[in-house]
Chain A
């Protein structure tokens, strides 16, 4: 389990790994904790509501979260989240392959003053 010092700002990347994929204008990012003890912290930190709040201009559609309890992973499916999709997007990364690191770059909701460290 992740051990943190006071006031230390931890990222999802500190406890988990992820991969992004695309289908049309829908992006999915699967996220897995390295240590099962951190799974609750991941579930608390990466919610559909949070994704919508963090990236309102990018993730325009519905966000669905599938929980794979026994493998300690989440699958985020984000609608209208690829700026039109691989054929239409003008983003250099038109597949949104780097969206995995968008999620891994989120701060963890460690329960204490976590929201104050968010921009």
Chain B
């Protein structure tokens, strides 16, 4: 492999489950990539995927898998680019089979699709397992568990690469590990090369959220202007043998890569910058050096690494009933006063008339919602929306809440309009730890 002047080229083709596809196709075609990673799994998405699988054993993988594979398999094959993804979610086997079907339909023969399993550790742990970062144990959940997935690291992915896979599909593959594994495989880094593992993990961490490092989720007009965000390009890392890298994007794409975009991603969802825990290494980002080379190129180096955590993290997902949301809008003079009156009515009807005790929240969008608990509200808005949210395991309560909000159209304050209501299934997740010996990843290769 290795297509770029001695560097190894990794691109991101998705940074979350619903990420864009067309810029990924562009990167696959023009990026001369060794590897494209599609990171599509979060703590909640894996739990939802388990629910999908329970409803239909043929599902439970990323709902965009077929579309993504239809668009990416051919250009990646043509460029000799290996695809690595956790789109398998709760059902990597079905995802690999669907990918094989797509490859057949595209007339791609001899394609090797690796399916990594073994992250699902349901039934392998006792009920006395303590939660990772809060009091309590699994026994306290008291709701049906829908799935338990251990985070698999690079050591679960490397055997698939050694087997010559063109596409690697897993479930709960840790985000940075999908970038680190091909680097370890290509450069021959061992588990004892802690600095290299730290460096490769930094590359993975910076790249795993896709456009969050190329100008996406960054723009703030007037202070942080980003060119052509509508056509933002996915990131591309040119990684050297020591793990240092240049983060960039394709010429002709929108967005930008500069020191500021890299910094915001450097500590995104990081707590202690000197101890970023992954299945592979305890990475140290606290002394990372950044150098803006201009032309949307930033050099990153000097990440460190210490021994990996002894145990693996497990996400436990369980059924949490539903989230019900409903709203009505008020505009014009005294809109805020009418909205507040409506809020009081809904609160009284639900709690007093209907005796609902489930967690309920009433916001006034435009006068204070996101920052309401932080104490930041305003009273001068002439365009507010009542937003009512209820979490409940009782479907009747959810439907009653929607009904009460809709009834404001005739029974509430003057001038209310634009009722909408929606009930969505909810999952909750908790984290626990598992001994590495209890997790046994497997690889199976499907050939088209």
A interface residues with partner B (beta carbon < 8 Å): 13, 17-19, 21-26, 28, 30, 32, 34, 54-55, 57-58, 64, 66, 68, 70-71, 73, 75, 77, 83, 86-88, 90-93, 98, 102, 105
Contacts and interface: CB of A to CB of B under 8 A. Distances in A.
B361 A91 contact: yes
Interface residues of B, number: 50
Nearest to A14: B223
Contact of A73 (B220, B267, B371): B267
A93 B264 contact: no
14 contacts: A19-B217, A19-B218, A24-B134, A28-B270, A30-B264, A32-B263, A55-B375, A68-B286, A71-B263, A73-B263, A77-B271, A91-B372, A92-B389, A102-B371
Contacts of A24: 133-134, 431
A76 B122 CA distance: 35
Nearest to B217: A19
Contacts of A71: 263, 266, 288, 290
Interface stretch (B6-14, B71-79, B244-252, B421-429): B421-429
A86 B44 contact: yes
Interface in B360-391: 360-361, 363, 365, 369-376, 387, 389-391
Nearest to A16: B223
A19 B373 contact: no
B380 to A, nearest CB: 15
B128 to A, nearest CB: 21
B97 interface: no
B143 to A, nearest CB: 12
A75 B267 contact: yes
Contacts of A83: 373
A32 to B, nearest CB: 5
Nearest to B318: A87
A92 B368 CA distance: 11
A88 B323 CA distance: 9
B266 A26 contact: no
Contacts of A18: 264
Given A75-B270, A87-B429, A57 B373 contact: yes
A66 B272 contact: yes
B220 A17 contact: yes
Contact of B373 (A23, A34, A91): A91
B126 interface: no
A57 to B, nearest CB: 5
Contacts of B290: 71
Interface string B346-372: 000000000000011101010001111
Contacts of B371: 98, 102
B387 A92 contact: yes
Given A30-B264, A73-B267, A57 B374 contact: yes
B267 A88 contact: no
A17, A30, A87 interface centre (most CB from chain B within 10 Å): A87
Given A21-B270, A90-B359, A30 B263 contact: yes
B260 interface: yes
Interface string B263-285: 11111111111000000000000
A23 B271 contact: yes
Contacts of B286: 66, 68
A19 to B, nearest CB: 4
B426 to A, nearest CB: 7
Shortest beta-carbon contacts, A-B, top 8: A21-B269, A90-B361, A30-B267, A19-B264, A87-B428, A90-B389, A58-B374, A58-B373
A98 B374 CA distance: 11
